[in-house]
Structure 1
Amino acid sequence: MKKKIKISMMFLFLFVYTAFSQSIIQFNMDTLPSHPRLLMQQGEEKALMEKINKSATWRQIHESIISAGEDLLTRPPLERKKIGMRLLGVSRESLRRIFFLSYSYRMTGEEKYLQRAEKELIAVCRFTDWNPSHFLDVAEMTLGVSIGYDWLYKELPEDSKKIIRAAIRDKGLRPSFDESYNWFLKTENNWNQVCNAGMTFGALATYEEDKEWNKNIILRALRSLPLAMKEYEPDGAYPEGYSYWEYGTTYNVLLLAALNKILGEDITGSLSRNFMQTASYYEHMTGPTGQSFNYSDCEFSPNLSPAMYWFAQKGNAPSLLWVEKNYLSETNRANNTANRFLPLVLLWGGDINIEKLTPPQSLMWTGGGRTPVSMMRTSWTSPEAIYVAIKGGSPSSNHAHMDIGSFVMDAGGVRWAMDLGKQDYESLESKKMKIWSNTQDSERWQVYRYNNYSHNTLTINNELQQVSG
C-alpha cells in the first residue's frame, strides 16, 4: 500500500512540476524582447568585442569569421541541389553563410555584409521547398534563416522581411504539422533535438506574426525534447556516439540557450536533471592521439564543438575545454571556418580565460544507459599516454554497429586498436541498399564496417551479433 502511495505521489509531483514549468513559460512568452532576440540581443555586441580584445585566441577566431564573411561576398548564392534524398549540404552551408555574414555585420557595422546576407536569405527563401521529406534539411535551413531574419531585422527592407517570414512559415514551420514529416516529435534520437530546435527558432523569430500558433510550436518542442534528453541518462553517455552527440547536442543547447535568454530563467533542469553531465562524456571520448572513440556512425577525427563552450560556461567548468582548446589555433582556421556554428564559440566562451586552462582531474569516465561506455587514460598532458575505451550496448540503437564489446587503444602516440567508423551514406543509398533497418536480416549488416567482423570484439561461430542482444 505504501509503495502505491509513493508511486502516486511521484506521478502527481511530475504532473504538477511539468504544468508549473509550462505555465511560467506561457506567462513569460506573452511579450518577447524586440529583435534581435536570438542568442545575442541588441547592444550586446560591445561587451562581446571587449571580451574578444582581451584574448589573442578569441581575437583570432573573431577575425577568422570576418575573413570568411569577406570571402562570401564574391560567392554566387546557393541553389537548390539535392544529393540523393538530401538537401542537407545546402541547408548547412546556408546556415553557415547567413550566420557568418550576420555576425560580421553586427560586429563591424559594414553594409556589405548586410547586403550579402540579404541576398543569401532571399535566394534560399525562393526555393520551391526546403525538402520536408528529409526534415533535418528543413530544420537546419529554418534555423539559419531565422537567425538572419532576427539579427538583421531592423536593417532589412520590409519587402525582404515579408518574403523571409513567409518562407519560415510555409517552408519551415507548416510542414512540421504534417504527420508524414513530424515523426521526430516522438523519437529519442538526434532528429528530435535538431528538428525541435529549428522549429523553435522559426517560431521565436516570427513570434509576433501569430503569437498563439508560435507559442504552441515552442511548447510542443518542450514536450517532445525530454524524450531525446532521456537518452543521456543516467550519467551522460550518448548512445549514438561521438559525432551524433556533437550534432544533436549542439541543437539541444541552441534551443536551451535561446529560450533561457529570452525567458530570463533557466529551463534546463525542468527538461532533464542529468543533461549537464554529458559534457564530461564527450571530453573523455577523445584519446591522446587526437582521435575519437568513433563507435557507431562516427568520424575518428574530432573537430571544434561549440556546444562544449556552453557547458563550460554554464557549469563554470573551464577544464571541459581542455581538448577543445587544441582546435582553436590558427593552423585549424580552415576547419573552423567550415564549422557553421563557429560564432557560438565566442558567444558562449568569451568569458572563459582560454589561455589558462587546467586539465581535468579524472583519468577515467564510465557511464551506463542504453550504450554503456568506459574510457581510461594515464595522462591528459602526455601525447604518449595510454588510453583504452570500451563499449557495450545493442546493435538495435540508432546508428549502431554490431560492435558490442568493441574497444580502441592509444599508446605512445599511436592508435593500436582502431574502429573503421562510418561509411558515407550516399555511397550505399545510391546502390539501393536499405541500411536504415536494424532487423537481424537487414542489408545494413552486409556492410563490412557495420557488422562485427570489422570490430575489436568476439565473433562466435562466424555469426553476426544478435540485434536483440
Structure 2
Amino acid sequence: MTNTDGALASHPRLCLGQGHPAGGSPLPTWSRSAAEVARRAEAYLADSSYDELHATHNAHLGRARRMQGRMLTLVAQWQRTRDARFRDAAVACLDAIDQWEYWSWITWRMNDPRTDAIFDLSYGENSATLAFAYDLLYHDLSPAERERVADIAQRRALGPLIRIFGREAPWWFGKPDTNWNPVCAGGAGLLALAFRDELPEAKRVLELTEESLDPFFRALGETNGGCPEGLGYWNYGMRYAFLYLISSERATGGKHRLLRTDTVRASLSFPLDFCPHGTACSFGDGNHWVPLPAHRAAAEHLGAWEVARVLDDLSADIDLTVDYQNWATAAETVLWAPQPVPADAKPDHGNPPHAEPLVTVYEGLGWARVADRWPSPDFYLSIRGGTTEVPHGHLDLLSFHAVVGDERLIENVTPAEYLDTTFGPRRYELFEMLPQSKNVPLVNGVGIARPARVDPVPVHWASAAGVRLDATSAFGGGRDDEPLLAYGGRLFLMLGSAGALVVDRLELANEGRVESRLHTRARVERTATGARLVGERHRLTVALAASHPFGLTVAATVPTTPGDDATVLRWCGPQELGVDYWSAALLVPGDADTAVELEPGAGGARVSVRIGGQRTRVLLGPGLEVADVSPVPAEEG
C-alpha cells in the first residue's frame, strides 16, 4: 500500500491532466474528443440547466454525473485554450454543487436534509468532481476560491463522512461485491488526496478508503477478475477504483499493492471477454458497456498493451455526441491524453489468439464464453453459471447470449429502466428478473430457484469446445418439497466454425411439462426445422429437435416497460405429460440448410447434425458427457 502520510506531489497530483491536454495525443480518438469538448464547452456556457432533476430513478445521481461531465469538459477546454470563460464556468459548477440542498436522492425522498444523513453514490461522485476541479484548477484559483472549495469539501463531504463513521460504518464499507464500495470509497479517497494537506479529515478518510477497497480487490481475485454485477457495473466501480489508485500512485510516487496485481491485469480483459465487437453479453441488471477512458488509462499505466489496442479499436466507433450513461468520455480522453501502443509492445499472453473454438470459464464467478475463434469471433456464446446470490442478479442460471459477427441475435430480456420495485422486496416478481424472460429450460412453468449455484465444466473434443452444467439441485423443489428434477443439465458445444449445439436433458421426479425459451429482437422467420433470426446485419438459423413431439410457438414478450418488446421462441413439450426429456437447438450463423436429430437411448443420446452438406455425429452420456464428436462419412449420410 502506498504511503499517503509522506510528502505528496504538488498539484495537479491526481491522475487527470498529467498528459498535458494542450499538447494532446496522436491518437485519432483524442482529436475527435477535443473537437467534442470544444463543442460541449461552448454549449455549457449558454446553458445553465445543471440544476435540473429528471423524473427518474436516482435522479440526484444522474445530476451529479452530468455535473461532473460539465466540470471536466470546461476544465479541459480551459487548459487547452486559456479562455477565462471556461475557468469561470467551471468554478461556478462548484458553487452550484454546494447550493444543492440534497446531494442524495435517498435522503431527498426521506425529507432528511442533513449532510451527514448518508454517504451514497451521489456523494462519491460529487466528491470526485470537487477533487478533480481543485486539483486541475489549483494554480488558476485565487486564495479565496481555494478556501471556498476547501470549505465545500469539508462541509459537504469529508466532514459528514467522518461523522457517519463515528456513528456506524455505512453498509458499503468493505463490502466485496458491490460497485458502491469503489465509487463511494474511491470518490472520498480522491477528495482526501486532493486536500490531504489542507483538511484535517483527509488523512483519516484515506485510511478508511484503503481499508474499504482491500476486500473488494481480494474478492476480485476470487473471481479471476470478473465482476458478478455485470459489465455496466464493472465499468462503474472500476472507473472509480482506477481513478483513485492511479491518483494515489502519482500523488505519492509509490506503487499501490491493490493495483499492481495479476488480478487487476486479468480484470482489464473481463469486459472484452463478454463484449465481442463491443456487443455486451453479460448478465443481471447491467448488460451494457462502452470503453471508458479510465479503462484505457489503466491498461496504459500497467503496460497491458493488448487490452489498450482493443480499446483503441472499439473507441474509434463511439459516437461522442451521444451521452453513454452520462460519462464524460470526451473530456476524460482529452485530460488523460492516452499514448499510442508502442510498436515494440510485447503481446499479453494472458488472452492469446485462437484459430479454433475456445472456451474460457471465470472460476469463482461461474461465467463462461465460447467462441469459434479469438479475438474477433464470427460466432460467440456467453453462458451464465455461478450463483443467484449476487447484487443486481437475476434468476438466469443456464441462460446465454449468442452473437453473430457484431450483432446479438439471442439475448436475455433485461430491465429497460429502474423502478422502486427493482430494488425492493418485490424485485423477483418483475418479469425481467425471472427465468421466464431468459434463454433457459423451464419445468412445469418454472426455472431455477433461489438460492442456487451451477458451475460450468469445460468440454474439449477435437475441434469442438464448450461447457456442461448440472443444474439438478438449482431447480429446487416441487410439490410437498420433493425435488423437481432427478437430473437437469445443459450442454453448450461449439462445433468448429460451423455453429453451436445446445442440448438439454430434464429428468423429472414426476410427470410434468417442459420447454426451452429463446429471446430475440431480430425478425423471426419460420423454417421447416425451426426458425431463422434475421437481424440488421446478420442471420442465425435455429434447428430444433427433441425426444418427444415438441412444438414451436413464437410470441411477443410482456416487459415491464412498454415498447421494449422482444420475441420469444418457445420449444414446448407435448400435451401428454412425461418424465425424461431431451431437446436440442442447433445454432448456425447465416442461411445454411440446417437440421438436427436427437436419438435418446439407455446410455445417453446420439445427436446428428447437418449444416449444408456437412454432417456431424455427437454422442452424449446420460449426464451430457461428451463421448464423441466426429464427422459422418458421406456414404453413411
Deviation string 1:442-468 (CA, Å, 9 cap, x unpaired) is 411111111111111232332352222
Aligned length in residues: 427
- Which of 25, 43, 47 lines up with 2:3 in the alignment? 25
1:198 equivalent in structure 2 = 187
Q: SS where residue 387 of structure 2 aligns?
A: coil
Identity %: 20
Query: Which of the pair has more CA radius of gyration?
Result: 2
Equivalences for 1:86-97 in 2 at 5 Å? 86-97=59-70
* TM-score, with structure 1 as normaliser: 0.82
Q: 1:118 and 1:230, CA in 2 relative to 1: closer, same or farther beyond 3 A?
A: same
Query: Per-residue deviation at 1:110?
Result: 1.6
1:13 equivalent in structure 2 = none
| Paired letter, 1:361 | P
- Which of 243, 250, 256 lines up with 1:261 in the alignment? 250
* TM-score, with structure 2 as normaliser: 0.62
Q: Tell me whether 260-269 or 57-66 shows the greater mean CA deviation.
A: 57-66
2:97 equivalent in structure 1 = 124
Query: Per-residue deviation at 1:197?
Result: 0.9
1:151 equivalent in structure 2 = 136
- Looking at structure 1, the residues matched to 157 and 353 of structure 2 have their Cα atoms a distance apart, in angstroms, of 44
- Looking at structure 2, the residues matched to 262 and 205 of structure 1 have their Cα atoms a distance apart, in angstroms, of 9
Q: SS where residue 209 of structure 1 aligns?
A: coil
Q: Mind listing any 5+ residue stretches in structure 2 that lack a counterpart?
A: 105-116, 453-637
Contact 2:276 2:406 survives alignment (8 Å): no
Contact 2:76 2:331 survives alignment (8 Å): yes
Q: Tell me whether 105-114 or 324-333 shows the greater mean CA deviation.
A: 324-333
1:37 equivalent in structure 2 = 13
Query: Per-residue deviation at 1:421?
Result: 2.4
Equivalences for 1:288-303 in 2 at 5 Å? 288=277, 290-300=278-288, 302-303=289-290
2:218 equivalent to 1:222: no
| Paired letter, 1:68 | R
2:451 equivalent to 1:468: yes
Query: Per-residue deviation at 1:112?
Result: 1.2
Deviation string 1:67-103 (CA, Å, 9 cap, x unpaired) is 2222211111522637455410110011101111112
Contact 1:308 1:320 survives alignment (8 Å): no
- Which of 284, 297, 305 lines up with 1:318 in the alignment? 305
- Looking at structure 1, the residues matched to 259 and 290 of structure 2 have their Cα atoms a distance apart, in angstroms, of 30
Equivalences for 1:224-263 in 2 at 5 Å? 224-234=212-222, 235-263=224-252
- Which of 298, 304, 307 lines up with 2:291 in the alignment? 304
- Which of 322, 325, 332 lines up with 1:335 in the alignment? 322
Root mean square deviation, CA, Å: 2.9
Deviation string 1:369-423 (CA, Å, 9 cap, x unpaired) is 543111122345767x010111212221000000111111122554332122234
| Paired letter, 1:377 | A
2:392 equivalent to 1:405: no
Q: 1:443 and 1:116, CA in 2 relative to 1: closer, same or farther beyond 3 A?
A: same
Q: Mind listing any 5+ residue stretches in structure 1 that lack a counterpart?
A: 1-20
1:172 equivalent in structure 2 = 157
- Looking at structure 1, the residues matched to 432 and 248 of structure 2 have their Cα atoms a distance apart, in angstroms, of 40
Q: 1:253 and 1:382, CA in 2 relative to 1: closer, same or farther beyond 3 A?
A: closer
Q: 1:367 and 1:230, CA in 2 relative to 1: closer, same or farther beyond 3 A?
A: farther
2:353 equivalent to 1:362: yes
Q: Tell me whether 269-278 or 370-379 shows the greater mean CA deviation.
A: 269-278
Q: SS where residue 409 of structure 1 aligns?
A: strand
- Looking at structure 1, the residues matched to 273 and 398 of structure 2 have their Cα atoms a distance apart, in angstroms, of 18
Structure with more helix by fraction: 1
* Higher normalized contact order (CA 8 Å, seq sep 6+, divided by chain length): 1
Query: Per-residue deviation at 1:223?
Result: 1.1
- Which of 283, 286, 299 lines up with 2:275 in the alignment? 286
Q: 1:271 and 1:171, CA in 2 relative to 1: closer, same or farther beyond 3 A?
A: farther
2:120 equivalent in structure 1 = 135
- Looking at structure 2, the residues matched to 61 and 461 of structure 1 have their Cα atoms a distance apart, in angstroms, of 53
Structure with more strand by fraction: 2
- Looking at structure 1, the residues matched to 365 and 37 of structure 2 have their Cα atoms a distance apart, in angstroms, of 37
Query: Per-residue deviation at 1:349?
Result: 5.9
Q: 1:145 and 1:374, CA in 2 relative to 1: closer, same or farther beyond 3 A?
A: same
2:31 equivalent in structure 1 = 59
- Which of 367, 385, 391 lines up with 2:384 in the alignment? 391
1:450 equivalent in structure 2 = 433
| Paired letter, 1:419 | N
